[in-house]
Structure 1
Amino acid sequence: MIATNNLCLKYTSVAYYYIGRSLTTIFNVIFTFLILGEKTSKSCMVCCAIIVFGFWLGVDQESLAGSLSLAGFIFGILGSLSLSLYSIFTKKVLPKVNGEIWALSYANNTYATLLLIPLMVLNGELGELSSYSGLFQPYFWEIILVGGMCGFAIGFFTTLQIKFTSALTHNISGTAKACAQTVLASYWYQDKKSVLWWMSNFIVLFGSACYTRIKQVDMEKRHKENDAYVRV
């Protein structure tokens, strides 16, 4: 998940990252049905169609501007897919570790380390690392340490959020975060974007917000039905 996110950012701008990652909700619907067997209402499917339209419009505008990267596009989709799977499997696996977030975070980081080392070898990154002039500089290791701590914190609080809410809630909050990130990145880097490009962002955000509201109403309805059943 983190690898595909970083690769998406490598080949695209921070502003496009939001559009590239906007399919998380779509994959969440698909994998929730395939893995958990939960069906989605027609209203939610309409919201998904709105999100897909916003995604397509954003990609189209990036293409017209000449800034569309095929690699970034692919890694953005893979990032959405992996985030959705990560959220769903985290929710599914947490009961097996008695809800212990520290244990799950430790396991995730251990597996990630074991998986990424062979990838570093295959991509020739070990050679680049050994020839890097600042390898033994304190600043380099300070940045690595801070990055590692931030990465661990993100994973920990992601798991914490999924534990006390749901995979969907995490994905939606991630979409909102990415939207704010897009606005800040566009301002910071002074990117000039077309009106349709901004519309694509708002369409994705609107579709995600509608999806969230519909799921919230469904959950409240289900909760009331369960309460009524318990009283009986």
Structure 2
Amino acid sequence: MFAIDQYAYQNRWKDLPAGYKLFIYLLLLAVSFSGVRGLQLALIALVAPLTCYVARLSWGPYLKWYLHASIFILISLLTFVLTYQDAPDQLLLALPLGRGYLGISQAAGQQSVFILLRIYSSLVSTYFFVLTVPFAQMLRLFKILHIPRVLLDLIVLMYRFIFLVFYEFVTIRDTLDLKFSFYNKRKQHQAWGRLANTLFSKLLDDNQKLNEVLALKFDAEHSE
């Protein structure tokens, strides 16, 4: 079980109906997309500590999840704010490059603040929902909302397949570690290559078995 699932199953609001938490989540998303900076900052300042309290979660792991997401957010943001112009007049930061200047325009700088507030307030809201609603409770909520059964089957299948990949990865890594395959840098490169090859081959075999099981289930359902 992943850390997020462990916190979700032991949170203080696990017995609260999922419908109430879904309503709170939708309300938080509405605030996140409202564009009102004061409300977005208030959401981040209030909901983040509330999430840690309800999920019985310390600040270390919680902030670490944001760090992982921030890497992709900043890379995406750089492609948005960087611009190339002939003159540096409209640039907040300008770096001479060739016959023009590479930098950040004033409009892009202001827009980036708007985008970052929307992204992080949405992340805070999503973490609140994920850490307070266990997966089993989430599935029951989806059934109440009449989500198509095919989509529910795909969600469960993907959820279990992620666990399968994680389990295989940990098993192979621990096996190689017991054989001292990560003893030095040279062996580490060989071990990671061996791990990737073994994991890929194992997943292909498991995927074939999974396809056979799904085919049998499909035939059984449509033969009735």
Normalising by structure 2, what TM-score? 0.28
Whose helix proportion is higher, 1 or 2? 1
| Larger RCO, structure (CA 8 Å, separation 6 or more) | 1
Q: Which has the larger radius of gyration?
A: 2
Q: Say which structure is richer in strand.
A: 2
TM-score calculated relative to the size of structure 1? 0.27
